[in-house]
Amino acid sequence: MLHIHGNGRQFRLPQNLAAWALASAWRGTALYPLAGPAALTGRTTVGELTGLDGDLVRHARAVAQTVRETLTEWRGRPPVSNKAAISELPAYAARDISASK
């Protein structure tokens, strides 16, 4: 589960691209922008919160690292458009998740 402030954008909290890319990859589609700090937890089969399993920890770490590297790269070579950026990050995140399985 991804826990994030429901009104983060309204309160002008900074975008959380790592959480957005991870959630978008998990859902298989680019989601609405996420803003503010995020917490990741696991969930039991009955819906209770629990710690993350090893796969989910690997997913989160890999995607966060890729987002950092991509943003660094974009400083020197920005994406051609916002649409391209919105496609690029979730694609990288999906690749990271499939590679960490």
Residue 55: per-residue pLDDT: 87
Structure tokens given for 56 = 């989910």
CB-based contacts of 64, cutoff 8 Å, min separation 6: 18, 22
Residue 101: per-residue pLDDT: 62
Residue 37: per-residue pLDDT: 94
Residue 52: per-residue pLDDT: 86
Q: What is the rounded average pLDDT of the residues 74-100?
A: 90
Residue 33: per-residue pLDDT: 87
pTM over 0.75: yes
Q: What is the rounded average pLDDT of the residues 89-95?
A: 92
Instruction: Quickly tell me which residue has 């859902």 as its tokens.
Output: 27
